[in-house]
Structure 1
């Protein structure tokens, strides 16, 4: 597996030279492209150099053990050999992970959509809880959250909400959140204290650039209308809300969050591109799933992935059998333990499939 790693090191050194070239530095687009490549392979090169150093240490230690007659010197070499061998094993595992195929969308921003499912008003209230959880998680990571569209109920729940999260690596962290989230709790509207079960569906879409998805303007039907809901008197006086229909697929996107019609159109187009890119991703995932069903990364929106149980302060992710008993912390955005466990499980699946 490691035979071709020298090519990474050679390219790394080549990039170092180019990044110091004034001609390259003056070309912002080229410089950014080379910097990204440099960053992408730096961890591989660092681990590879560690790997080569450990191999050399093992070779030297074996030579000393074979050739020296000094007992203390031999014991020191044996200890060094033991430590280097253990470190080499860990470095090999690190390299295997670094060499796994990378999702090309991992560095992208995301468009998230949360919709109330079974449970009526309680499902809508749970959707607002999930939005708050993801918003607080984004804040902890220094990411920006921007609402695109919102359908709010009279008591503060969300029938559906679309929002963008702008931040480095947002998709790599959030992509496994897609699916059906189930809540078990006593609803605010319940007078007898009975626990009810409700659901909400979460969709996580990578933000698509123009180069990812090409949209023919002739395929779009764009309508304007007056916004509704909270937001001030202007909502009933100006037709600033935008509805875009993509005629070939029938996808419809609405945005009325901004006062400006132009800003609403821009946001709606971002969501439309993300949905079209997501359709392509889902199609590709379906083809892969026919060959090998992934425990974590199926992307099936109808799959129940997680249960939030209020009476027991418990969260269970059903895909990897992870159960945690600090729901109160999780709902304030402390979801790194869940996300990191999902990423680890997915990487383990990738390694298994390669082997």
Structure 2
């Protein structure tokens, strides 16, 4: 670990020197690339410096205690310094190990989220709307922007499906744990006997794709169809064929967008959704090749897997991947998701550490 840290420290110092060179300062692209790398390494260097300071304090106190001949009062101070440093070192080492874990290259990206009502008919569609509201409020609390890309709304205000983008630094790093089947247990408003019903919704979380990551021949590989929008939007949106459906011929992947007034705008959004879907499929194919590594992580689990239950009568939310149960359902549904996501991220890091140490 400390060999890795020494190499990182040397690289950090090298970048620091380059950032002070006039030719680098005047080259916007090079300066931006170096600053990005500098910011990525800075937390590791700060933690390493903290570790070095505590280690120095530990070594100094240890040497003084070994030498002996200290008066009682001074010895007590030195012993206190030694004990405090000894207690801090293991946790600092653990923090350094976490900082050295390989970063998910998608973590800083914007994210596209698809929510679909599953088993349960209208109740499932209403639950899909509740999940969309929860994620939108969470995004707002982080200062991120939310934009609906496609939606199929029911008469009662639910969603058969809704696709939206969340834009902001680190959006994917937080939402990536949400992929999977979400289950709700509650008494529907239409239930006269007061019986609890169980419904589901599926959530898919896709990092926004960059053009450089995928090679797509739009003329050869993509077929475009236009149709009239079916959702709300006034006379214009319903009378013109502005909605767009894109089909990726090699894979059969289909996306639709109908929320914009013009065909061009809908095509641009649909293309963005299609590229993100194809990137996600590419990443999942790579993960399947390393099955043992995937099983050791909480990560972005299989979308057919039931990951979480929202129990309204008990005010309970349970995440089945890590055995987490909390009784603050209302707060979570109002966008206070950090407690759940933090627990998932911690479990994921612990699994990766354990996997790394067993190799």
Q: Is the 8 A contact 2:288 2:294 kept in 1?
A: no
User: Aligned to 1:105, what secondary structure does the other structure show?
Assistant: coil
Q: CA deviation at 1:214?
A: 1.6
Q: Runs of 4 or more off by more than 3 Å in structure 1?
A: none
The one of 328, 331, 346 equivalent to 2:330 is: 328
1:175, CA displacement in angstroms?
0.3
TM-score, normalised with respect to structure 2: 0.96
- Structure 2 distance, partners of 1:295, 1:304, is 16
Q: In structure 2, list runs of 5 or more residues that go unmatched.
A: none
Deviations 1:194-225 (A, max 9, x none): 11000000000111100111211110001222
Q: CA deviation at 1:72?
A: 2.0
For 1:119, the equivalent position in structure 2 comes to: 120
Q: Answer yes or no: is the 8 Å Cα contact 2:149–2:269 preserved in 1.
A: yes
Partner in structure 1 of residue 16 of structure 2:
16
Give the alignment's TM-score, normalised by structure 1: 0.97
Does the residue aligned with 2:269 lie in a helix, a strand or coil? helix
- Superposed CA deviations along residues 273-320 of structure 1, whole A, max 9, x for unmatched, are 110011012112222224662362252000000000011111000111
Q: Alpha-carbon deviation of 1:22? A: 3.3
Instruction: Determine if the alignment matches structure 1 residue 35 to structure 2 residue 49.
Output: no
> For the residues of structure 1 that align with 2:165 and 2:28, how far apart are their CA atoms?
27
Q: How far, CA to CA, are the matches of 1:290 and 1:58 in structure 2?
A: 40
1:130 Cα deviation after fit: 0.2
Q: Matched residue of 1:11: which SS?
A: helix
Q: After TM superposition, give the deviation of residue 180 of structure 1 in Å.
A: 0.2
Query: Is the Cα–Cα contact under 8 Å of residues 116 and 159 in structure 1 kept in the other structure?
Result: yes
Using a 3 Å threshold, how does the CA distance of structure 1 residues 236 and 286 change in structure 2: closer, same or farther?
A: same
Listed one character per residue, the Cα deviations across residues 169-208 of structure 1 (whole Å, up to 9, x for unaligned) are 0111010100000000011221221110000000001111
Distance of aligned partners of 1:291 and 1:170 in 2 relative to their CA distance in 1, 3 Å threshold: closer
Unmatched segments (≥5 aa) in structure 1: none
RMSD: 1.4
Which SS does the other structure have where 2:33 is aligned? Answer: helix
Cα distance in 2 for partners of 1:298, 1:228 equals 32
| Number of residue-to-residue matches in the alignment | 355
Aligned 1:1-355 pairs, distance under 5 A:
1-69=1-69, 70-217=71-218, 218-290=220-292, 293-294=295-296, 296-297=298-299, 299-355=301-357
Contact 1:289–1:298, Cα closer than 8 Å, also in 2: no
Per-residue deviation, residues 296-355 of structure 1 (Å, max 9, x unmatched): 225200000000001111100011111111111111001100000000000000111111
CA distance in 2, matches of 1:166, 1:297: 21
**Contact kept? 1:138, 1:144, Cα under 8 Å:** yes
